[in-house]
Chain A
Amino acid sequence: MSSTDRSARTSTAMIATPAIHAEQLCRHYRMGETLIRAVDGVTLSVKAGEFVALLGSSGSGKSSVLNLIAGLDRPTSGSVIVQERDLAQLSREELARYRLHTVGMVFQSFNLIASMTLAENVELPMRFAEVERGKRDSLAREALTRVGLQGRMNHRPSELSGGEQQRAALARALINRPQLLLADEPTGNLDSHTGTEIMNMVREFNQHLGMTVVMVTHERALAERYAQRLIFLADGKLVGDESNSAVNAADQAGVGGGRP
């Protein structure tokens, strides 16, 4: 994949075209008589290489927006365009390929497959991508080494701590070198110390691999510490969009690791 070359360029030439653009995005659920507007006319843009936090109270539609961007769900109306592809227009098969090659996802509950070792979990997306068997082993090893789990490759998820599981999930999310990292409350199940560890890794991917990151969280403090932009949702609507000056200033200074 050319993700690294591409992301290298995003910071300069492609900065103008947004990596993600949602226009009047709606996701409604019909529950008998009532219509639940989980996402209700959200319009937003995320630049390539940007680190954005989606904030809001429980039930405000954060996960729903993220799933629409991830191509796991289809909008009721409106459009999501990711890297010039309108997801609403893609077939189920094309959406699967999009998820496979363009998106990496991490979840609050880690979502590793319990019956597989870490190495096998990390390898799984490469099986779907039909990467050669010989290459897969070394790539999985490399990815797990990157998140500091080289010693735990043949362990099953149940034998690991939450932080280790989330690190493995990060390694899996990155294995097909996607341009987009979508995280749904990645630290929700972790203590603050472990959460910081995970967030530092996410930031590293954002800064050194040039990945665009959209992270759902309801912890404003966490968002302010890492995200360049904070987007607020309430009742499925966009209610705020602010640039995070502190993080941007730090990025400008090229520090990145100034915060505890």
Chain B
Amino acid sequence: MKLPDLAELAVRNLRESLLRNSLTTVGISVGVASLVAMLSLGIGLQQLASRRLMKSGLFDTVLVTSRRDLRNFGREEERGGPAPAESRTLDEPTRIEIEHLPNVLEAYPDIRFITELRYEDKPHLTTIAALPASAKSNDAFETVQGQFFSSDMAPEAILQKTFAEELLGRTPKPGVDETNVAELAAPLLGKELTMRYAQREAAQSAPSATAHDNAAAPGAESLADAAYSVVSRELKLKIVGVADLDPESMRGPTRARVFLPLKLAESLHVMQPTDLREISRAATDQPVYSSVSVRVNDPNQVRKVEDTIKKMGFNTFSILDASRSIQQFFKVLYAFLGIFGSLALVVASIGIVNTLVMAILERRREIGIMKAIGASDSDVKKLFFAEAGAMGLLGGVVGVALGWTIGQAINLGTNVYLKSQSFPPEHFWSVPWWLVAFAILFSFGVSLISGLYPAARAARLDPVQALRYE
């Protein structure tokens, strides 16, 4: 029998016992709805999580280091890369070259040093890091008390909450941290800090003792140039902001307690720990960086950019792997939610089996007639299959609509609750088109499987027996 005929006969048969078939279809719809509801919740939560993570600026950043940097030896990223001998120096032209790679938004040197800050004549030793202007839109600095740097060269500082506490002489209570950042910031904003630091300066003096370290590294430059002097300097900084960051959860540039604008930090030529190894470069005009952070315009492009930079002869690191394990977690979550959702569908599919078996009993004679006038086993089988499939398809469509509605309702309800708790509304509910397609196909498939047994039973029905009794 041809497909249009099958479909037509199936639909007319379903209409014959409308109530029973409708109830079965409703059962499927509820199953599909619960599946859709579960999965869309999972997907929505994942999207929420990854939106948050993307905003944190962690997932679109690649950290580039030179292969000469001995700290990186033995790191996993290094395997298969070129030997340190052929590696390149991470200097300003390289930084510009990286910045011009496709999909790269910016590439900025990581400047980080430990130095002394004086506040009201009391010295505090701390780690200072430079922030690029783009960090302003970073989620981590969105909540800053006060404001972001007025310019990239401004002698201004943003403090980490813990450092602000230290300056004010408060010790955070262990355990629950309920410090109000605004309260901390109020007495500090606009105040002055004095930073003492060591500046490198080109000099003609003899190589220092540490030059021996450098000699061990292959491809070292002539020791004749390898000279600089260290000059002690002071800089006054204005406190413009206090950031509420959890330093432990942060990586990369935010792992510091005081932040300076990037251009300002660069211009200071602060002596950094890595300078000892790049000692020969200290004399040249071009700065050499120990590491450069590269921001990529799309987290999906991170891997590609990383590969390109690796080919240039550098080591790279990104938190892509971390994001992958988060994805892993959500896969498991999907599986769980999916299994619970499918359970309802399985129960519904037992309803299909029941309905079709009932239909066979009821339509014994009809099946006998059809066989007597020439229907083959496969015609009868296909007809029951088509009926199961039609119920599955209809149940799937209705179920998706139902599931979507339930989801909207939950979303709405939760947001009303969030609002009452004065949280911003969140969109943690998502029904992507593929889920719609999947749910309908799944429902169709499950229904066909449910139809297997009834269809086979109907097909094997002996027409003589079926026609024998009234």
Q: Specify which chain B residues have a CB less than 8 angstroms from the CB of A72 in the assembled complex.
A: 371-372, 463-464, 467
Query: B1-47: which have CB < 8 Å to A?
Result: 1-2, 4-5, 9, 12-13, 16
Q: Specify which chain A residues have a CB less than 8 angstroms from the CB of B372 in the assembled complex.
A: 70, 72, 99, 105, 107, 111
CB <8 Å contact, A111 and B369: yes
- Which of A112, A115, A128 makes the CB contact (< 8 A) with B12? A115
Q: Does A109 contact B (CB under 8 A)?
A: yes
Residue of A nearest to B5 (CB): A127
A111→B376 CA distance, assembly (Å):
18
Residue of A nearest to B377 (CB): A92
Q: Does B225 contact A (CB under 8 A)?
A: no
CB <8 Å contact, B376 and A96: yes
Q: Does A176 contact B (CB under 8 A)?
A: yes
Q: Does A18 contact B (CB under 8 A)?
A: no
Q: Does A100 contact B (CB under 8 A)?
A: yes
Contact indicator per residue, chain A 45-83, by CB within 8 Å of chain B (1) or not (0): 000000000000000000000010010110000000000
CB <8 Å contact, A93 and B376: yes
A225→B414 CA distance, assembly (Å):
85
Q: How large is the interface on B (under 10, 10 to 19, 20 to 34, 35 or more residues)?
A: 20 to 34
A203→B348 CA distance, assembly (Å):
54
Contacts A113-B369, A115-B13 given: A128-B464 contact, CB under 8 Å?
Answer: no
Residue of B nearest to A111 (CB): B369
Best-buried of A99, A114, A133, A173 by chain B (most CB within 10 Å): A99
Contacts A124-B370, A127-B9 given: A96-B464 contact, CB under 8 Å?
Answer: no
Query: B445-470: which have CB < 8 Å to A?
Result: 463-464, 467, 470
Q: Does B374 contact A (CB under 8 A)?
A: yes
Contact indicator per residue, chain B 365-396, by CB within 8 Å of chain A (1) or not (0): 11011111111111100000000000000000
CB <8 Å contact, B373 and A105: yes
- Which of A103, A107, A128 makes the CB contact (< 8 A) with B379? A128
Task: Count how many pairs of residues, one from A and one from B, have CB atoms less than 8 Å apart in the complex.
Answer: 73
Q: Specify which chain A residues have a CB less than 8 angstroms from the CB of B467 in the assembled complex.
A: 72, 107, 111
Residue of B nearest to A115 (CB): B16
Contacts A72-B463, A73-B464 given: A96-B366 contact, CB under 8 Å?
Answer: no
CB <8 Å contact, B374 and A101: yes
Q: Chain B contact residues: over half helix, strand or loop, or mixed?
A: helix
Q: Specify which chain B residues have a CB less than 8 angstroms from the CB of A73 in the assembled complex.
A: 464
B18 CB → nearest A CB, Å: 12
- Which of A96, A101, A133 makes the CB contact (< 8 A) with B377? A96
CB <8 Å contact, A67 and B373: no
A112→B377 CA distance, assembly (Å):
19
B422 CB → nearest A CB, Å: 62
Q: Specify which chain A residues have a CB less than 8 angstroms from the CB of B379 in the assembled complex.
A: 96, 128
Q: Specify which chain B residues have a CB less than 8 angstroms from the CB of A109 in the assembled complex.
A: 470
Q: Does A6 contact B (CB under 8 A)?
A: no
Contacts A111-B467, A127-B1 given: A100-B373 contact, CB under 8 Å?
Answer: yes
B224 CB → nearest A CB, Å: 95
Q: Specify which chain B residues have a CB less than 8 angstroms from the CB of A127 in the assembled complex.
A: 1-2, 5, 9
A111→B470 CA distance, assembly (Å):
10
CB <8 Å contact, B1 and A130: yes
B455 CB → nearest A CB, Å: 15
Q: Does A125 contact B (CB under 8 A)?
A: yes
Best-buried of B366, B369, B378 by chain A (most CB within 10 Å): B369
Contact indicator per residue, chain A 86-108, by CB within 8 Å of chain B (1) or not (0): 00000011001101110101010
A173 CB → nearest B CB, Å: 8
A70→B463 CA distance, assembly (Å):
11
Q: Does A172 contact B (CB under 8 A)?
A: yes
CB <8 Å contact, B376 and A92: yes
Q: Specify which chain A residues have a CB less than 8 angstroms from the CB of B378 in the assembled complex.
A: 93
Q: Specify which chain A residues have a CB less than 8 angstroms from the CB of B5 in the assembled complex.
A: 127
Query: A138-191: which have CB < 8 Å to B?
Result: 172-173, 176
Q: Specify which chain B residues have a CB less than 8 angstroms from the CB of A101 in the assembled complex.
A: 374
CB <8 Å contact, B374 and A97: yes
A226 CB → nearest B CB, Å: 23
Best-buried of A92, A96, A107 by chain B (most CB within 10 Å): A96
Q: Does A15 contact B (CB under 8 A)?
A: no
Residue of B nearest to A100 (CB): B374
B352 CB → nearest A CB, Å: 20
A97→B379 CA distance, assembly (Å):
11
Residue of A nearest to B17 (CB): A115
A66→B126 CA distance, assembly (Å):
104
A-B residue pairs in contact (CB < 8 Å), sample of 13: A67-B464, A96-B375, A96-B376, A96-B379, A99-B374, A100-B374, A112-B369, A113-B369, A115-B13, A124-B373, A127-B1, A128-B375, A176-B374
Binding site for B on A (CB under 8 A): 67, 70, 72-73, 92-93, 96-97, 99-101, 103, 105, 107, 109, 111-116, 124-125, 127-130, 133, 172-173, 176
- 5 residue pairs, one from A and one from B, having the closest CB atoms: A100-B374, A96-B376, A127-B5, A99-B374, A125-B373
